[in-house]
Amino acid sequence: MENDGIMCLKKLFHTSIVVLLFLQCFNPSLSSGFYNVSADFRAISHRVVTRCIESEREALIAFKQGLVDDYDLLSSWGREEHKQDCCQWLGVHCSNRTNHVTQLHLGWSYLDQAYALQQKGRPQNTYYYLQGKMMSPKLIKLKHLKYLDLSQINFNGSQVPDFIGSLSNLRHLDLSYASFGGQFPSQVGNLTHLQHLDLSFNHFANVEDLNSWMPHLSALTYLDLSGSNLSNVRDWMEAVNKLPKLTNLSLSDCSLPFPLTHSSTPFNKNSSRSLAHVDLSSNQLTSSILLWLSKYNASLVSLDLSYNPIKGGIPQSFSGLCNLQELGLINNTLSGQLSWLVQILMSACPDQNALKTLYLSSNHLSGSIPNLTNFSSLQELSLYGNQLSGTVPESIGHMSRLEIINLELHYQ
C-alpha cells in the first residue's frame, strides 16, 4: 500500500508539470507568474522571523542607551535588520506564548558567563561589566516583566527611579551591589507579586520605617537588605513577622539595633513560621534575638549570628533545632561551659542531629571539648579563640564526616 501511494504522488507531480507546460504554449505569461511564486516562497524562507514586540524593543534600546558597555556585551542589541528580534538579545527572555519580554538578566554572574564565552574562557577580573548613566523610564513599557536582575551594574550613586514600583508583574527583583544611593526605594512595596527581593549592599540613606511597605509583600520568600542602615528601625522583627511565606532572610551589616523584647513582637497565625535561612551577622544584637529565633526551631536550616555582642549562654528555648545544618556564632561574647551549649543543641533530637558546620570561635567558652559524636553529620568545626582546656577527645577521630577542625586549647 505504501509503494502504491508513492507511485500515485509521482504520477500527480508529472501530470502537473505537463499541464503547466501545455498552458504555457497558449499563454507564455503564465511562466513568469509561476517563477514569481517560486521566488516569493524563496524570499519568505530567508526572511528573519521577528517575535519581539516593537514597543518593548524600543524600551530596551532606550535602556541600553543609558548604559556604558565597555566590554561590548550588548552588541546583539540594536535596530539593524539582523538585530530586530529582541527575544534573541543577550539577557532577554520572551514568552513563547505571547512574545512579551518576561525576563531581563543583566546581573554580574550572567554577564560574567557571557564574557567568558566571548573571550573563549579567558579569565577577567572585573567588578562591573556595565555602568549606568541613567535608568530609562521607558523600561516601564515592559509591563509583562517578571524577572529583573541588574545586580552589580554601577549606577554611580543615582537613586532607584520611582517607576520601579510600577513594574507590577515582577516576581524577582535583584538590585544588589548596584551602587544606588539616595532615598531607600520603599516604592518596591507596590510590587505585591514579588517573591524575591535583593537590595543588598547599595548606598541608600537611613531607612526609617519598614512597616510602611514591607507587609504588602505577602508573597515574599526571599529578602536581602544587607548593608542597609536600619539603625533607627526598632520594629524590624515585627515587619519580618508579617511576611507569612518568608524562608530566606539576610540583614547582615545593617546596624540592627537592640531589638524590642519578644513579648512586644506579634507572632500570630499569619506570621511566618517557615524561616529556613537567616543571616543577621555583623549587627548590634543581644541574646534576646535567640528567644525570637527559637520560634523557628522547627524550620531553621542555617543561622549566622556572627559578629554580634551576644553575651552569656544559649537559652534552653533554643533547643530542638533538628533541621539546623549550619550555625555561626563567631566573635560574640558567649560564655559558660562548651559542654552545656552542646547539650542544648542536641537535647531535643539526639538521634537525628543534622548539623554540618558549627562555628563558635572567638567567644568566652570554657571547659573541655565534650564528646561530639552525636553530631554525626558534622563536617566543619571551629572552636579557636575560647578558653578551652584539656586534650582533644579521641572520639573526634570517630567522626568520619569531619573534614575541617580548628581548635585552640589552653594547657594548665
Question: For position 33, what pLDDT does the model report?
Answer: 42
Map out the domains of the chain with their CATH numbers: 310-412 (3.80.10.10)
Question: For position 410, what pLDDT does the model report?
Answer: 61
DSSP state of 223: E
Phi-psi region of 53 (alpha: psi -120 to 50; beta: other; left: phi over 0): beta
Question: For position 16, what pLDDT does the model report?
Answer: 46
Query: Model's pTM, two decimal places?
Result: 0.85
Question: For position 319, what pLDDT does the model report?
Answer: 78
Residue 387 burial class via C-beta count within 10 angstroms: exposed 0-12, middle 13-18, buried 19 and up: middle
Question: Does the pLDDT of residue 171 top 70, yes or no?
Answer: yes
Question: 50-79 pLDDT, tens per residue?
Answer: 789 999 999 999 999 999 999 999 999 999
Query: Which of 119 and 283 is assigned the larger pLDDT?
Result: 283
Q: What average pLDDT does the chain have?
A: 85
Question: Does the pLDDT of residue 348 top 80, yes or no?
Answer: no
Question: For position 134, what pLDDT does the model report?
Answer: 85
pLDDT band at 123 (very low <50, low <70, confident <90, very high): low
Q: Strands 203-204 and 222-224: what pairing?
A: unpaired
First to last CA, the chain: 98
Q: Are 246 and 218 in contact (CB under 8 A)?
A: no
Output the nine-digit C-alpha cell for 29. 505569461
Question: Does the pLDDT of residue 108 top 80, yes or no?
Answer: yes
Range with lowest mean pLDDT among 10-19, 121-130, 307-316: 10-19
Return the closest-CA partner of residue 347 out of 325, 369, 315. 315
DSSP state of 161: P
Question: Does the pLDDT of residue 109 top 80, yes or no?
Answer: yes
% of the chain residues with pLDDT over 70: 82
Question: Does the pLDDT of residue 37 top 60, yes or no?
Answer: no
Q: Residue 77 contacts by C-beta under 8 Å, 6 or more apart in sequence?
A: 60, 61, 64, 83, 86, 89, 90
Question: For position 27, what pLDDT does the model report?
Answer: 46
Question: 369-403 pLDDT, tens per residue?
Answer: 999 998 889 999 999 999 999 889 999 989 999 99
List of long-range contacts for 23-32, beta carbons under 8 Å, 24+ apart: none
Query: Which of 249 and 43 is assigned the larger pLDDT?
Result: 249
Range with lowest mean pLDDT among 26-35, 257-266, 320-329, 346-355: 26-35
Q: What is the mean pLDDT of residues 122-129?
A: 78
pLDDT band at 298 (very low <50, low <70, confident <90, very high): confident
Question: 218-255 pLDDT, tens per residue?
Answer: 999 999 999 999 999 999 999 999 999 999 999 999 99
pLDDT band at 273 (very low <50, low <70, confident <90, very high): confident
Q: Strands 92-94 and 101-105: what pairing?
A: antiparallel
Query: What residue type is assigned to position 164 of the chain?
Result: I
Rounded to 5°, the CA angle 362-368-373 comes to 95
Q: What is the mean pLDDT of residues 118-125?
A: 71
Sign of CA dihedral 31, 32, 37, 39: positive
Question: For position 2, what pLDDT does the model report?
Answer: 42
pLDDT band at 285 (very low <50, low <70, confident <90, very high): very high
